Copies of this chain bind each other. A is one copy, B any other.
């Protein structure tokens, strides 16, 4: 959800036309705002918009019922985006994919807060002009045997390119563990990672296990995936290619799992367990997710930020699954992250 964070950076420049920022169709050389400032802005925005379109198309096909609805939105402090939301589908209860393309100026503290490591980027305390774009997504299926999936890929740079970085990741949140599914999901991302750097997968898998921890529960919201932030240790073109590869493997990593389980039978008890896990998802997003909290507290577009919340969630007092059940197995894996591949 860090792209929602970027969509909401405080900015003092004049309002911009959202039509100039995010185009009705694919961005072209002529009408992309970003073009005037450098090719990575153009490339990243275009890649993310293409990914938004292709992923939502693939998801609609798997769903076979509902269609995504698109809302263009703008912030009059500089920026805008396009939210695509599918509600009450055959497979998905709620699925949202949000593109943000934002520019403006931000305070030094916001620049500092924007990265995991809080790197200080000195500029004599002045407001920092920046550009940011990101694509974030959460999809919550009805069937408790179908996992929730989240991804986010984003690019940030300050005016003149003094500071820049990429961030992102894709992670999966089942209610029940199907080991083959987890091997497939993690395996797909391991292959993606390995094509770009043999150290990426181990590093980013561990980072996801750390990031998605619900600290007050001592458990992760799900079974992880990859997560990275503040990535700027090599040629930006190389990192861009990695992000593109990762974004383009959302559907191959997630789609087959949904196809496999979308018609699985389930019990009321399994649905209730899914609802409790959705409650945990809400706890993570509202208490710990940096992008969500930052977005909400800095006047981001609430509906786009909270698209990530499930349509339904539940909390029961002191619920403890019985030892030896699939629910207890899930909890064990949420408390002690496993190596899947």
Taking Cβ atoms with an 8 Å cutoff, the residues of A that contact B are 71, 85, 87, 94, 96, 215-217, 275, 279, 282-283, 286-287, 293, 296-297, 299-300, 302-303, 305-307, 309-318
A302 / chain B contacts, CB cutoff of 8 Å? 216-217
Contact B283 A317 (CB under 8 A): no
Q: What are 30 A-B contacts defined by CB distance under 8 Å?
A: A71-B318, A85-B318, A87-B316, A87-B317, A94-B315, A94-B317, A96-B317, A216-B299, A216-B300, A216-B302, A216-B305, A217-B302, A279-B309, A282-B313, A283-B286, A283-B306, A286-B286, A287-B293, A303-B317, A303-B318, A306-B315, A307-B317, A309-B315, A310-B315, A311-B314, A311-B315, A312-B312, A312-B314, A313-B313, A313-B314
> A28: shortest Cβ distance to chain B, in Å?
29
Alpha-carbon gap, A35 to B71, bound state (A): 62
CA of A306 to CA of B318, assembled, Å: 10
**Most-contacted residue by chain B among A286, A299, A307 (CB, 10 A):** A286
Q: Nearest 5 pairs between A and B by C-beta?
A: A286-B286, A216-B296, A309-B315, A303-B318, A85-B317
A284 shortest CB reach to chain B, Å: 10
Distance (Å) between the CB of A281 and the closest chain B CB? 11
Which residues of chain B are near A305, meaning CB under 8 Å? Answer: 216
Give the number of times this chain occurs in the complex, counting copies: 2
CB nearest neighbor in B for A217 = B302
* In the bound complex, CA of A279 to CA of B279 (Å): 11
The answer to whether B316 touches A216, judged by C-beta atoms less than 8 angstroms apart, is no
Interface centre among A96, A215, A307, A309 (most CB of B within 10 A): A309
Chain B, Cβ-Cβ closest to A318: B303
Q: How far is the CB of A269 from chain B (nearest CB, A)?
A: 15
A86 to chain B, nearest CB (A): 9
Which residues of B have CB within 8 Å of A303?
Answer: 317-318
| Residue in B closest to A319 when the chains form the complex, CB atoms | B303
Residues of B within 8 A of A71 (CB): 318
* Distance between Cα atoms of A307 and B316 in the complex (Å): 8
**Closest CB in chain B relative to A289 CB, distance in Å:** 11
Q: Which residue of chain B has its CB nearest to the CB of A88?
A: B316
Q: Which residue of B lies closest to A309 (CB)?
A: B315
Q: Which residues of B contact A299 (CB under 8 A)?
A: 216
Known: A287-B296, A303-B317, A303-B318. A312 touches B216 (CB 8 A): no
| CB of A305 to closest CB in B, whole Å | 8
